[in-house]
């Protein structure tokens, strides 16, 4: 049998045969590179309260923390002469009805467009306005994710088989209006008396003992509150204690800090070295320690952010981002694509985009499951797959994170979607509810009648069950 290779005729391209120049992409439109063109530093001096602040002060984390505004009257006082009396009155009334405490850093204040505060995406996230508030969805609860129900000890939620959420404290560098832990984070408000999760060695010891006793636990999220607010020695204690446990393979340290106070990474050397030491200890033990942060809008990323992320990158600290989908903030395709691209540009990997949880007092920020599905379709392909986030619904009632398009049933008229979580709680259905004001007229009419609520939910559950059969 012959082993010679068979020669096949080579077909030449007709254009190539004629000596045509191979096709090349046209020159790129500079507007498509907006992700590289971010603000180097905000002009903080345009705010009357900061007009005499030096660059050295503004870039110091101590000053940022000390000057963070924690009372509504102080925040509004800082804005007098910068925005209208109408806005100040609107915000005053908004704070009176907000379930979340107030804490806004000077850095965040300086990034807000005070010429148009009503539509500014950062103002929207941190400063409530009474004129924008809508009635809460009737199926909304203060702890919609039922984190406390899955807590074997206070401040430790064990829902997924191999992962637990550890909440060592209940404070943050800023307080977001949309926080899913408004049941515990911050001080009591006129609307909410908080669950207390203060720093406590005794409480921490119970959490550590539980984690060590569960061999299936391999992955711990250290959140809060916010790990940014842990002292250096506390961060090292938590990290080293967990890493010394044979069962633990991964630690995720969660913080909003880089988005709202990147100065800490640049100037709090003790905290930064503590973070580095935990990461390096993990590396020596062949265990993963990463930082999870929370940018929601491309305007939150500045030259200061870049410098902070560069410092993390130089220390070999991997950073992932978890955003929350919010109406008027990042629910437009171009905004979300710009956020994803800009995050990648500063070495932050987009990980999740959460469909907004059912949180009290922020119905104006929620949008629909369909919006998330549409956005994911548009965003995918705009950059590398490893820099493309997954859009998820954190299923109310304790189902955990589900791909937004993986519903068992979704009625866009009533806004009821049904999810299952076979590897979390097999056999259970979990319902999510689109905001009523975004539903078609028939859906709004049915939700206006309390007698219809149970019927709509049962219709969705029956449809999901029929699909599962």
What pLDDT does 337 receive?
Answer: 97
* Interval 370-427: pLDDT, tens: 999 999 999 999 999 999 999 999 988 888 899 999 999 999 999 999 999 999 888 9
Query: What is the CATH code for 156-404?
Result: 3.20.20.70
Mean pLDDT rounded to a whole number for the chain: 90
| pLDDT given at position 79 | 82
What is the arithmetic mean of pLDDT over 239-259? Answer: 97
- The residue ranges of DSSP E strands in 188-315, in sequence order, are 219-222, 250-254, 288-293
Strand ranges of the sheet holding 250-254, from the earlier edge strand across to the other edge? 156-158, 163-166, 219-222, 250-254, 288-293, 319-325, 349-355, 390-395, 400-403
Q: Report domain extents, the chain.
A: 44-132, 156-404, 407-469
Q: What is the mean pLDDT of residues 199-221?
A: 96
What pLDDT digit, counting tens, does each position of 258-277 carry? Answer: 999 999 999 999 999 999 99
- Specify whether the CB–CB gap between 405 and 367 falls below 8 A: no
Residue 320: pLDDT over 50? yes
Lowest mean pLDDT among 154-168, 286-300, 442-456: 154-168
Confidence of residue 71 (pLDDT cuts 50, 70, 90): confident
At 1, the pLDDT band (50, 70, 90 cuts) reads: very low
% pLDDT > 70, the chain = 91
| pLDDT tens digits, one per residue of 6-29 | 444 545 554 555 566 677 878 888
Q: Would the CA dihedral through 26, 29, 32, 35 be positive or negative?
A: positive
Q: Which pLDDT belongs to residue 74?
A: 85
Dist. CA 187–CA 437, nearest whole Å: 30
Q: pLDDT above 90 covers what percent of the chain?
A: 72
pLDDT for 145 equals: 58
Q: Give the model's confidence band at 181: pLDDT under 50 very low, under 70 low, under 90 confident, else very high.
A: low
**Residue 143 above 80 pLDDT?**
no
In terms of Cα–Cα distance, which of 327, 329, 181 is closest to 254? 181
């Amino acid at each position: 049998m012959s082993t010679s290779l068979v020669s096949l005729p080579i077909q030449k391209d007709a254009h190539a045969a004629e000596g045509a120049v191979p096709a090349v992409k046209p020159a790129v439109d500079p507007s498509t590179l907006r992700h590289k063109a971010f603000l180097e530093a905000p002009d903080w001096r345009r705010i009357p309260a900061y007009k005499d602040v030096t660059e050295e002060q503004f870039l110091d984390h101590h000053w940022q923390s000390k000057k963070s505004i924690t009372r509504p009257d102080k925040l509004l006082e800082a804005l007098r002469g910068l925005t209208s009396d109408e806005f100040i009155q609107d915000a005053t009334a908004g704070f009176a009805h907000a379930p979340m405490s107030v804490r806004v850093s000077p850095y965040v204040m300086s990034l807000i467009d005070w010429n148009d505060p009503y539509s500014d995406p950062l103002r929207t996230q941190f400063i409530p306005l009474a004129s924008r508030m809508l009635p809460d969805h009737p199926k909304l609860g203060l702890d919609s994710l039922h984190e406390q129900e899955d807590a074997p000890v206070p401040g430790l939620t064990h829902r997924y088989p191999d992962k637990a959420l550890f909440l060592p404290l209940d404070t943050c560098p800023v307080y977001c209006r949309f926080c899913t832990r408004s049941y515990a984070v911050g001080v009591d408000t006129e609307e909410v008396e908080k669950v207390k999760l203060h720093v406590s060695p005794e409480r921490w010891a119970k959490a550590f003992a539980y984690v060590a006793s569960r061999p299936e636990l391999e992955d711990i999220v250290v959140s809060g509150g916010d790990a940014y607010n842990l002292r250096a020695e506390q961060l090292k204690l938590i990290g080293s204690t967990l890493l010394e446990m044979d069962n633990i393979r991964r630690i995720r340290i969660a913080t909003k800090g880089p988005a709202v106070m990147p100065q800490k990474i640049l100037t709090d050397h003790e905290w930064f070295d503590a973070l580095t030491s935990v990461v390096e200890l993990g590396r020596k033990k062949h265990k993963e320690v990463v930082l999870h942060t929370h940018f929601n809008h491309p305007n939150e990323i500045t030259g200061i952010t870049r410098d902070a992320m560069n410092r993390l990158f130089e220390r070999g600290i991997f950073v992932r981002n978890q955003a929350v989908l919010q109406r008027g903030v990042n629910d437009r395709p171009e905004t979300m694509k710009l956020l994803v691209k800009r995050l990648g540009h500063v070495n932050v990997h987009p990980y999740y985009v959460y469909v907004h949880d059912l949180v009290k007092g922020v119905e104006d920020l929620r949008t629909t499951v369909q919006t998330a599905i549409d956005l994911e379709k548009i965003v995918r392909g705009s950059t590398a797959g490893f820099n493309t986030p997954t859009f998820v619904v954190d299923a109310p009632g304790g189902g955990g994170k589900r791909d937004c398009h993986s519903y068992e049933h979704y009625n866009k008229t009533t806004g009821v979607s049904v999810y299952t979580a076979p590897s979390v709680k097999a056999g259970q259905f979990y319902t999510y509810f689109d905001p009523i004001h975004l539903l078609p007229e028939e859906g709004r009419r049915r939700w206006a009648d309390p007698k219809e609520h149970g019927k709509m939910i049962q219709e969705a559950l029956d449809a999901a069950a029929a699909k599962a059969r």
